[in-house]
Amino acid sequence: MAHPSGEGVKPAVLVARRIFPEVLARLRQHFDVEANETDDVWSAAELARRLQGKAGVLTTGTERITAELLAATPGLKIVANMAVGYNNFDVPACTAHGVLATNTPDVLTDTTADFGFALLMATARRMAESEHFLRAGLWNRWSIDMFAGTEVHGSTLGILGMGRIGQGIARRGAHGFDMRVIYHNRSRLDAATEAACGATYVSKADLLAQADHLVLVLPYTASNHHIIGAPELAQMKPTATLINIARGGIVDDAALAQALRSGQIAAAGLDVFEGEPQVHPDLLTVPNVVLTPHIASATLATRRAMANLAADNLIACLTEGSALTPINPEVLSA
């Protein structure tokens, strides 16, 4: 990878969304920084315009790095995503243009696993539904089945996608709630990792059929688009819950809304949505779904760690020709 030329001249970088002032200050020690202090969401054309003359950009999941954008920004050397997922990047196009892509794995694993389990519990125990009931002034007496949900402890936890976050959720279920943990993944984990997670590998069909609580923690890819749709929902228990903390588009949201309305499954908890920040209108009209606005990694400590790791990748790439968490490391050796 070519290094910035010009002794004493700071490379120019773009920070595409508002981040923490102390992280911006770190970046300004190394770069000429253009920062989006107003936190506007730029169009593709505006992003391309602002990337003119920039060697690097710190992105979030909001910004799409496409082949067209890369062709229009020939000086770009690195796109540093402040997220573990990178389905907003056309990685083959980045590689073809000699642009390093990086992400922020590991630093958000436990925080996201915590939230996934919190969303599971809120969904199983009907917390959002009952809070709306209380706020509406409808609680005037006790009844034996009022907002009776499904058990968490001792139930079967199913996990689709068994990377770092999936393993974190498995450990919480197996060790904290005495759950039977089953999982399906593109490749089976080694025996030691399975034992540490208390998890048993099963087929996707068995996962759907057996899980009391099914948590989705797999990356979005073209092959994973609507991997949970009407046929898969029909294979689940009518008492089951579905939790998505992965990416929008993995679930067919329209089919899920129908399954929730008809009682095909008991409830769902969703932190991500197809076409977010828009949410499928049918999901807004069914009571048995907990909806959160993509906040699974949202603690101040974790968001700071994510921003700092993205900044570290920018600094390493543009000052040393290296990176901490490259997605396409072959660019570094080109």
Tally the domains of the chain: 2
Q: Are residues 139 and 226 in the same domain?
A: yes
Name the residue among 85, 51, 57, 88 with its Cα closest to residue 71: 51
Active site residue 294: yes
**Does residue 6 belong to any structural domain of this protein?**
no
**Does residue 5 belong to any structural domain of this protein?**
no
Q: Reduced to 3 states, what is the DSSP secondary structure of residue 210? A: helix
pTM score, whole prediction: 0.91
Active site residue 226: no
Q: Are residues 276 and 133 in the same domain?
A: yes
Q: Are residues 139 and 223 in the same domain?
A: yes
- E-strand spans in 83-165? 100-102, 156-160
**Does residue 2 belong to any structural domain of this protein?**
no
**Does residue 260 belong to any structural domain of this protein?**
yes
Averaged pLDDT in 10-residue chunks for the chain of 334 residues: 59 98 97 97 96 98 96 97 94 98 96 98 98 97 96 98 97 97 97 97 98 96 95 98 96 98 98 96 97 97 97 97 97 89
What's residue 5's pLDDT?
Answer: 45
How far, in Å, CA of 216 to CA of 228, rounded? 9
Q: Are residues 101 and 191 in the same domain?
A: no
**Does residue 135 belong to any structural domain of this protein?**
yes
Q: Are residues 255 and 321 in the same domain?
A: no
Q: Are residues 62 and 208 in the same domain?
A: no
Q: Are residues 229 and 191 in the same domain?
A: yes
Q: Are residues 148 and 260 in the same domain?
A: yes
**Does residue 4 belong to any structural domain of this protein?**
no
Catalytic one of 247, 274, 280, 303: 247
Q: Computed over its alpha carbons, how large is the radius of gyration of the chain?
A: 22
**Does residue 36 belong to any structural domain of this protein?**
yes
Q: Are residues 268 and 203 in the same domain?
A: yes
Q: Are residues 158 and 215 in the same domain?
A: yes
Full domain range(s) for residue 87: 12-107+300-331
User: At 101, which CATH number?
Assistant: 3.40.50.720
Catalytic one of 30, 164, 180, 294: 294
Q: Are residues 125 and 262 in the same domain?
A: yes
Residue 229, Cβ density class (10 Å: 0-12 exposed, 13-18 middle, ≥19 buried): middle
Q: Are residues 194 and 95 in the same domain?
A: no
**Does residue 231 belong to any structural domain of this protein?**
yes
Active site residue 153: no
